[in-house]
Structure 1
Amino acid sequence: MLIAFVVVLLDMIGFGMMVPILAFYALRLGAGPELATFCMALYVIGMFFSTPLLGRLSDYYGRKPVLMISMAGSVIGYVILGFADTVWMIALSRLVSGLMAGNVAAAQAYVTDISTPENRAKGMGLIGAALGLGFIIGPLLGSFLAGDSFETANLQLPAMVAAGLSFVALLMVLLVMKESLSAESRTALQQEKRVSQWQAFYQVVQHPVILLLVCGGLTYNVAAGLGESIFPIWTEAVEVAKGPRDLMPMLLTAGIAMVIVQAGLIGPLTRRFGETRLLLSGAVLFTLAMLGMTFAGRMASVVGVMGALAVQSVGAAMILTSMQSLVSQCATPTNRGTVLGVYSSIGTLGRAIGTSATGAVFANLGVQSPYYFSATSTLLLVVLALFVIGRWQSYKLNAEPVSQAI
């Protein structure tokens, strides 16, 4: 599991480095808030189309080749970004990176391959911890390298450093990682009759529990896209930050809270309460956090924003880890990459919707409106979580995983 942790960590550090500065760099090149957040959305739009395919390929040909393709794509995307001097180059770089971004789904499948059902939540928590730690180190490093002014933020240096980190991760996959999916499993699946990508998607969502979890992933990611991508622009608008470096304590608080939950608490919490109850609790916390952001913004309170972000991160950690674990338990070894790929792809669709819409919502409905819409979306997740709780016990008794022939 350690190699998967390090690979995801390095990649997420590079991704996180762009968080404090990317939108403002697009603004500096002439984009408005709507276009700036759409450039950010292109990453997840690319992921929406590529993640199911890459997940399925990882079932047929192994996790390692997919991870290598993904990391090579990250290097190319960051190099394009580093030399971007127009908005369309920023857009192209994010689309390329998104189309090649199958690393997290492949890493999740890798972890489930080498873990037992009893410690699967812990393994998913380890990947989640890599995500959280990446969002501690990445934004801090990106903010530091960018400088102390949004207007003169340096994008090239953070982008090239991110490219270097992705290249290191690529070398680690190539030279150190061993394939986790057995040759027997790959051969057995390759000999089965293949179905189209849309048929595979249809078969996956026929599973009643997975359908609920897929809908939950969609609503959560809409909420996250609404709140996260507008955050740097929002901080300037409500006068809690004047430059990228002012974001460092806020993003640090959020990242630390997520890592504490995913690396240290998620295992004991899962054993004590179960994934379904953690999902419900996380949805409630995330909703409260989004409402808290609006109050902190009105008061221009840095401490209030830090507190809301900490609660948001705790809620997000509980939601993401619980849903990933539940989805993986509904799959078989030979279709796990496909099932996780479908789940992740629908999640990225939600993230694309939220990220694409948030700039227009911010510009036309008021600076606090993205967070009100985000809270509304996670209220729907609360309802879905209640349905999951009702269905899960019945599913466990019947023990019917999604069809193996996909």
Structure 2
Amino acid sequence: METKKALPILFLVMFLVMIGFGIIIPVLPFYAEEMGASPTQLGLLMAVYSLMQLIFAPVWGKLSDRIGRKPIMMIGIAGLSLSFFIQAMATELWMLFAARIIGGVLSSANMPTAMAYVADVTTPENRGKGMGIVGAAVGLGFVFGPAIGGIFSKSSMSMPFYLAGASSLITLVIIFFFLKESLQKDNNAANQNKAESRWKAFTGPASVLFLLQLLISLSLSGLEATFAYFAAQKAGLGATQLGYIFMIMGFAGALVQGGMVGRLTKKYGEGKVIQGGIVVSAIGFGLILFVDSFTTAAIFLSIFGIGNGVIRPSVSSLLTKTTDAGHGSATGLLSSFDSLGRIIGPPLGGWLFSLSIGLPYISGAIISVMALVLYQFYRTKALVVKTN
């Protein structure tokens, strides 16, 4: 049943969640360094969060199919707030690790539950639009969050963490009072049966979509981990200029997700949008090799961001339409594959960069072609199942 009021509230919720994430991004490395973290320990601090999300996102997705989206989302937001406040009050490095583990375990509930919520409240033809709205909220949160964190870190390194914690508490209040449960009681029993195994979603043609998302996430995180070094060597760009470039890229991606994904999927279907997004991403990877100034970096990275930005909402939409599992189980597993890509991507990108500075982007284009081939394989499998 489609609920017009639900999506704007969900947009606000996910925007505030990602604002909190974004606030601590520019601060955490320096904050950890103050507590004596080595570069290796900093890398582990970043990775442990994604590792917890990899493990627990399917668990929360499955639970949301059983007991509802709203309570699981509230657990995720509360856990996020707790982890931010622990980090704000941390005096030793182990406390940061404990907070990141707690945050990773509990906040892994947020994204799969939000996507499952969209699937619950939208009709199949408007599913892409709903997923795009969530994607736009995520993108905009990452645009504004780091800027806020950078400003308030000047007064105190712990202040951004307190702000992120407070933002999460406000989000919790909004969910409690304004977000209605989307899982219908008459569908509860069916969802419970569907959610018997968290790997139920990884069957049939839909299993290919999880692997496709893994490749997309892998290539994106490899770019994010190395582009600062690449732009510094190729165009002499500094941290401030890179911040503006990623902000422009974030705005471009968010605008496309929020304003175009719904129209495109409605007109052409998710499949063509996914393929188009992959092609544009591959072109973006190729263009990045020719970066020689702030302007070219902003344009080429935005081209990549636009292509990459339409893929995840379209994959989520297609998956929830075709899976035999509950929406939460499917989106939880999708988030898990996304996290796996984010764990493998940065060290792989860094290693490729050490061999040749252009290699992460050449490999990104190759991975994009692999993703395109993988989608064709999905189409063939889906067609065989349909005809049988």
**TM-based fold match above 0.5:** yes
**Structure 1 equivalent of residue 62 of structure 2:** 56
Distance 1:337 1:80, change over 3 A: same
Distance 1:156 1:375, change over 3 A: farther
2:351 is the counterpart of 1:353: no
| 8 Å contact from structure 1 (residues 223, 377) kept in 2 | yes
One-letter amino acid of the counterpart of residue 254, structure 2: V
**Structure 2 equivalent of residue 270 of structure 1:** 265
- Residue of structure 1 aligned with 2:319, choices 300, 317, 327: 327
**Structure 2 equivalent of residue 337 of structure 1:** 328
Shift of 1:288: 2.6
Distance 1:37 1:189, change over 3 A: same
Shift of 1:262: 0.9
1: CA distance, partners of 2:32 / 2:321: 41
1: CA distance, partners of 2:33 / 2:351: 14
- Of the structure 1 ranges 112-121 and 385-394, higher mean CA displacement relative to structure 2 is found in 385-394
**Structure 1 equivalent of residue 296 of structure 2:** 304
2:364 is the counterpart of 1:374: yes
Cα deviations by residue, 1:344-390 (Å, 9 ceiling, x for unpaired): 2122112111134444555x435544434433332321221232344
**Structure 2 equivalent of residue 224 of structure 1:** 220
**Structure 1 equivalent of residue 305 of structure 2:** 313
Cα deviations by residue, 1:248-292 (Å, 9 ceiling, x for unpaired): 321221111112211111122223322111111211222232333
Distance 1:160 1:379, change over 3 A: farther
Distance 1:20 1:396, change over 3 A: farther
2:202 is the counterpart of 1:205: yes
Distance 1:189 1:121, change over 3 A: closer
- Residue of structure 2 aligned with 1:5, choices 3, 11, 16: 11
**Structure 1 equivalent of residue 73 of structure 2:** 67
**Structure 1 equivalent of residue 4 of structure 2:** none
- Of the structure 1 ranges 282-291 and 384-393, higher mean CA displacement relative to structure 2 is found in 384-393
2: CA distance, partners of 1:306 / 1:9: 23
2:42 is the counterpart of 1:45: no
One-letter amino acid of the counterpart of residue 140, structure 2: L
2: CA distance, partners of 1:229 / 1:320: 20
1: CA distance, partners of 2:373 / 2:316: 18
1: CA distance, partners of 2:352 / 2:89: 30
**Structure 2 equivalent of residue 289 of structure 1:** 284
Identity %: 32
What RMSD in Å do the two structures reach over aligned CA positions? 2.7
**Structure 2 equivalent of residue 103 of structure 1:** 110
1: CA distance, partners of 2:262 / 2:386: 20
2:128 is the counterpart of 1:112: no
Cα deviations by residue, 1:301-339 (Å, 9 ceiling, x for unpaired): 22222112211211111211111111010136x711111
Shift of 1:86: 5.0
2: CA distance, partners of 1:167 / 1:185: 30
- Of the structure 1 ranges 337-346 and 373-382, higher mean CA displacement relative to structure 2 is found in 373-382
1: CA distance, partners of 2:314 / 2:329: 19
2:236 is the counterpart of 1:249: no
Structure 1 length normalisation: TM-score?
0.84
2:170 is the counterpart of 1:168: yes
Distance 1:85 1:313, change over 3 A: farther
After TM superposition, the structure 1 = structure 2 runs for residues 16-31 of structure 1, keeping only pairs within 5 Å, are 16-23=22-29, 25-26=31-32, 31=37
| 8 Å contact from structure 1 (residues 122, 266) kept in 2 | yes
One-letter amino acid of the counterpart of residue 180, structure 1: S
Q: Secondary structure at the match of 2:288?
A: helix
Distance 1:88 1:289, change over 3 A: farther
- Of the structure 1 ranges 349-358 and 43-52, higher mean CA displacement relative to structure 2 is found in 349-358
Q: Secondary structure at the match of 2:179?
A: coil
**Structure 2 equivalent of residue 139 of structure 1:** 146
Shift of 1:67: 0.4
Distance 1:49 1:36, change over 3 A: same
| 8 Å contact from structure 1 (residues 40, 229) kept in 2 | no
Count of aligned pairs between the two proteins: 381
Distance 1:308 1:82, change over 3 A: farther
| 8 Å contact from structure 1 (residues 143, 248) kept in 2 | no
Distance 1:136 1:35, change over 3 A: same
After TM superposition, the structure 1 = structure 2 runs for residues 79-94 of structure 1, keeping only pairs within 5 Å, are 79-84=85-90, 87-94=93-100
Which segments of 5 or more consecutive residues in structure 1 lack a partner in the other structure?
148-152, 399-406
Q: Secondary structure at the match of 1:205?
A: coil
2: CA distance, partners of 1:91 / 1:239: 36
